[in-house]
Structure 1
Amino acid sequence: MPDSFFRAACYFESALTLVAIVLGWLLNVDPFTDLTFNEQSLANGLLLTLPLVLLFFAMQQLPYVPLQHIRTLLLETLGARLHRCHWTDLLILAAIAGFSEEALFRGVLQPWLENITSLTAGLILSNVVFALVHAVTPLYAALAMLMGLYLGMSLDYGGERNLLTPIVIHALYDFIAFTVILRDYRNHLSRNRHAHTDSTNQ
């Protein structure tokens, strides 16, 4: 059964949808104006997730100290708190996060900033905010900024604006990342148990 942290994470991410709706009402922007469910946008989302996933796995192997710090941080936070979850729990959390965060940042903030500035400025400024709310470390914030820009540009992939594309990318990427983090954390626990058993038997 998922624990309280999982439930709290789901509630928090779900609340961002409400924030998107309220903020959209205040700014006169409908978060879901550009959300259309069609096979092409779904396929685009699946396809555009691949480069992010390849980059994620590549960064897992790099011996760069700030990246190692992020990996350790994620293991100690997400890994430690979600390691009892089933993969379906991870899928639910990733889907909620993908939908809610994209509704807020790409459904409200980006189009509003585009309307009052320009397409390029709206893209950049909305993702400065996206980076700031993900500023776990300076490098993590920079990576979040780059990912946000990628998600923002995917909004218009194929020549037709559709929020479904970044939602799919965000949710699928998060699910894969969660799965890898939990796998690594469980392997870490297993190694520690074996090491403790070996030391006890000596």
Structure 2
Amino acid sequence: MSTPHGGFLKFAVVFEGGLLLLAFGFGGLAGIDPVATLRFDLDGLVYGLAGTLPLCLIFQWSYSTHVASLREIKQVLVDRLGPFLAACGMADLLFLGFLAGVTEEILFRGFLQPWFEANWGWLGGLVFSNLVFALVHWVSPLYALLAGLTGIYLGFALDVGGERNLLVPILIHSLYDTIAFRAVVASYRAGFSR
């Protein structure tokens, strides 16, 4: 018998795995290797770790603010994800953060951004890939806007240091998601309400 915790993890693996299938399937059709720019090197590690800090600071501010529209987003996240994430241990949250970071970055920065760039240049690639990123993360119009802006940040991070490296946005996205998941769990356990 499957537990809600186990069912949630299985759903996450299937959903995020589907994103990998899309990236490699469409990448194969378009002649784009979604992991062609993935390099495991010290520069990528340093840029990825350092690049996580600004997003985490913005998240911390937005998560603790009294701005009504941001508190509504927090409430939606706590209500929708809190019960599932609270059943997870720290290892599970780390797994989920890295699962989302790796798969989504391979799709959005590894395939979609270069594919759009081939047709509309660097700026078009950045904008169009993150319009799709925003739509996929639609919870509300404001949340989609924030997701799109985060995607643009990740798109810039892809090219930080002068040489494209997919490791940088993967690390930023993965660590950010893990920290955000932990914050949702803490809010859920504390009984967050508007």
Shorter-chain TM band: over 0.9
2:69 paired with 1:74: no
2:172 paired with 1:175: no
Amino acid at match of 2:153: Y
How far residue 184 of structure 1 moved from its aligned partner, in angstroms, is 1.1
* TM superposition score normalised by structure 1: 0.91
For 1:86-105, list aligned pairs within 5 A: 86-105=89-108
Q: Percent identity?
A: 47
Amino acid at match of 2:136: V
CA distance in 1, matches of 2:104, 2:80: 20
Amino acid at match of 2:11: A
CA distance in 1, matches of 2:72, 2:6: 26
How far residue 14 of structure 1 moved from its aligned partner, in angstroms, is 2.0
Q: 1:135 aligns with which of 135, 138, 144?
A: 138
Match of 1:161, SS state, is: coil
For 1:44-59, list aligned pairs within 5 A: 44-59=47-62
Q: 2:157 aligns with which of 151, 154, 157?
A: 154
For 1:14-25, list aligned pairs within 5 A: 14-25=17-28
CA distance in 2, matches of 1:77, 1:165: 29
In the alignment, structure 1 segments of 5+ residues that lack a partner are: 192-202
2:177 paired with 1:184: no
Given that residues 30 and 108 in structure 1 are in contact (C-alpha distance below 8 angstroms), is that contact kept between their aligned partners in structure 2? yes
Match in the other structure for 2:45 = 42
How far residue 188 of structure 1 moved from its aligned partner, in angstroms, is 1.2
CA distance in 2, matches of 1:181, 1:63: 16
Given that residues 14 and 97 in structure 1 are in contact (C-alpha distance below 8 angstroms), is that contact kept between their aligned partners in structure 2? no
CA distance in 1, matches of 2:32, 2:127: 18
2:66 paired with 1:63: yes
Q: Which has the larger radius of gyration?
A: 1
CA distance in 2, matches of 1:128, 1:55: 21
Structure 1 stretches of 4+ with a deviation exceeding 4 A read none
2:25 paired with 1:6: no
CA distance in 1, matches of 2:6, 2:73: 24
CA distance in 2, matches of 1:11, 1:69: 28
